[in-house]
Amino acid sequence: MAVGIVCEFNPFHNGHEYLLSQAGKLRGEKTVCVMSGNFVQRGEYACADKKLRAGWAVSHGADIVFENPFPFSCSTAERFASSAAAILLRSGLCSAIAFGTENENSGEKDFYEAAEILLDSKSADRISDIVKSSGNIGYARARYEYILEKYGEKTAALLSSPNSILGVEYAKAALSIGKHPILIPIPRKGAFHDGVPDNEGKYASAGFLRSLGNADILNRYCPADVAEYFSSNKMTSIDKEKFYSAVSARLLMSDINNLAETADMPYGYAAKIVKAVYNCGNYDDFYLSLKAKHMTDARLRRIILFALMGTLKADLEKIPESALLLGCSQDGAALLKKLKKEAKSEIGILSKLSDIGKLAGSDAQIYSKEIAAEKLFSRLCAEN
């Protein structure tokens, strides 16, 4: 069996290499990744093509890299984790999931306990009541305050930092599909303050590298092949004005009732987003006009992206039952060959995106949206 890792590698850096090495060493097994494709959870285009990022992962310790497809790759932490964890655990390859955590004193039991609390219907109802009654806090904050009051600081702390939140979501996803993998929380390396690394270490967050990814920074915090690539290739992003032209056209042609069913769209927000298009002549003004106190930047970007792509709430209700292979090592190829021979996988494995012609039902729809997104956004890409 192998250890599973959910990732984005946006870009691949020394911390990712450390995570891969630790995951393999702790279990003495191969590593299988489920990586976001060209669209990441922050609602943005990845800094480099998914095949290239998968290649970096394979070069630095990963044995198999599958894709977490659009729209799950840029959904909420819950949807993002449920899709990726299901691919790992239903693949027939993984008996464990490793992940980075900011909470170095928390172990497997703590993550499962937090997951069980959040899956309990009484807890869910109480958190919803807090959101409705308060009128001034969002779901994430209400969840944290409820857990803090009822279960204490140690459990609540798992819901206050991004990597630990995802760890809880992996546990929730596993329990929801009747699996109970070993969870391996690995403390993050490096001291971070507001995303900025310490001056002495060799570890930095991906966000820091995307924002200040000059040659000196990348050479220090990324493997040599990654740094070399970005020495002659700028990080990929979306051209904001081309993007806004596409978004504007889509929204102006949309039926307001259909738009209201867009994934992640809050109640009553569809009318606001259409009004913003009429009033704003550029992307920055449009984006700023939609910001709200309890709307995170990531959620707002996802809403805009989903509106453009016609991604509905219903599109995220059924998780993938197939996985697209992005890359593998020789050992990974041997694992896949053995898996096929033993017929133990609960999911279909696609060797190339054109294989979606073999799919049916919801998976055919999921991967057709992946293809549509790839085609559209390839026309909207720019270099920073």
pLDDT at 295: 85
Q: Where along the chain do its domains lie?
A: 2-102+162-234+321-360, 111-157, 239-315
pLDDT at 380: 84
Residue 35 CA to residue 26 CA, distance in Å, equals 21
pLDDT at 196: 64
Q: Answer yes or no: are the C-beta atoms of 308 and 246 closer than 8 Å.
A: yes
For the question of whether the overall pTM of this predicted structure is more than 0.85, the answer is: yes
Look at the alpha carbons of 366, 3, 61, 161 in this order and tell me if their dihedral is positive or negative: positive
Strand order in the sheet with 348-350: 182-187, 94-101, 2-7, 30-36, 64-68, 322-328, 348-350
pLDDT at 193: 52
Q: Answer yes or no: are the C-beta atoms of 94 and 88 closer than 8 Å.
A: yes
Q: Answer yes or no: are the C-beta atoms of 150 and 165 closer than 8 Å.
A: no
Mean pLDDT of each 10-residue bin along the chain, 384 residues long: 96 96 90 96 93 97 96 95 97 96 92 96 92 80 91 93 94 96 89 59 89 86 95 90 94 95 93 96 96 88 95 93 95 95 91 81 86 84 64
Q: Answer yes or no: are the C-beta atoms of 19 and 100 closer than 8 Å.
A: yes
pLDDT at 363: 87
Report how far apart, in Å, the C-alpha atoms of 178 and of each of 9, 237, 273 are.
Answer: 28, 38, 39
Topology classification of domain 2-102+162-234+321-360: Rossmann fold (3.40.50)
Nearest to 36 by CA among 50, 56, 47: 50
β partners of residue 33: 5, 65
Q: 353-372 burial string, b = 16+ CB within 10 Å, else e? A: beebeebeebbeebbebbee
pLDDT at 26: 86
pLDDT at 194: 54
Residue whose tokens read 């279990």: 27
pLDDT at 125: 92
**Three-state secondary-structure class, residue 330:** helix
pLDDT at 249: 95
